[in-house]
Each structure stands twice: as structure tokens, then as C-alpha cells.
Amino acid sequence: MLSKLQKIFLIALGGFSTQAMAADRPIQFPAYESAIVVSSTLSQTIGGRRAPGWGVGGEAIYSRDTFNTGGSLKYFPEGTDNPIFSVFVGSGYKRLLQLQVGYGTEDAIYRVHSEMDLPVVWTFTKNAMHGVFKRPGVLDYYPNNRFVVSMTWEKYDSARHLDNIAFGLGLRY
């Protein structure tokens, strides 16, 4: 039986080896979505009577085309003594919708993660308030602005009272 540290190492190694194969292929599309996003999050648990309430944390996620990997840290001050660490890999449609599975201090974790550029969200909201429902173009916001908003739904296998929804603000590198 593998220890928790060995399982985390194997998951991370699998993620890096898959990315090494992707690095050998030629870039076919000049506008591919590749990014490392480092963000801070605010979480709210969504389960049961023993739910610890709100929590804070952070995460770093690397996404390229359909592959993503990363790690997160969460701390629920009213319900856990130790912080919760997890490492995960996944697949999805660029950064807009990612399905992830991982392992951490609370055993297996399943995640649905989504990221959007903050200027796109801001411009879409501003246009929607005036009744214009169109996708923002490049000229509607600063293309070099790296701020990102994220939303994550997490489900823990062995600690259902920690299931949560998290909202984050971060930077894309």
C-alpha cells in the first residue's frame, strides 16, 4: 500500500510526464490557452450539520489546451485544526471548464474548476446592464491585463463535511 506522500508524488509525476509529451508537438494554433494561474480563494462549505463554514486558501494551476494540473491549500478556521493540502490533474476545455481529480491530506478529491479573465467578465457585465448581450472583443478590454476570477466546486471522498464552493481572484502568468 502506498503512503499519502507516494500517491501525491505519483499524481504529480503523471501530470508532468503528460505535459512533456505535449511539449514535443508543434504549436498549430498561435492563440492556444496556456497559463499558470496563482490565486487566493474564499470557500464556503455546502454539506451537512458538521460543516465548518467558511475557509481561506490558495491554489496554483497550470493549464494547456485540454490538460491541467495543480495544487491547493485550504484552511477552515472554525472546523479543522490542520490545513488541507491537495494535488490534482484533470482535463477540460481550456480554462473555462476543467474536471479534476486528485489526492491530498483528506484522501481523494473531485473538482470542477472554471477561470475567466476579469476584464472579460467586467465588460460582459457592463454591456449586459445596457441590454447588449454579446461576447466582448479584444478592443473592449486591455488584452495584457492578467487578473483572473475563478470558481471551484470540490467534493471530498472521505470528508464530506468539507465539500465546498470556492471563489478566487488571481494572476495569470
Q: By CB neighbour count within 10 A (0-12 exposed, 13-18 middle, 19+ buried), where does 163 fall?
A: middle
Question: b/e for 99-117, b at 16 or more Cβ within 10 A?
Answer: ebebbbbbeebbbbbebeb
Cβ 37 vs Cβ 63: under 8 Å: yes
Residue pair 56/80 in contact (Cβ under 8 Å)? The answer is no
What CATH fold (topology level) applies to the domain 4-22+30-116+150-172?
Porin (2.40.160)
Contact between 99 and 90 under an 8 Å Cβ cutoff? The reply is yes
Query: What confidence tens digit (pLDDT) does each residue in 91-100 have?
Result: 887 777 889 9
For 67-84, write each residue's pLDDT tens digit. 888 999 988 887 666 888
Domain ranges of the chain: 4-22+30-116+150-172
Task: Give per-residue pLDDT as tens, 133-156.
Answer: 776 666 655 556 678 889 999 998
- pTM (predicted TM-score): 0.70
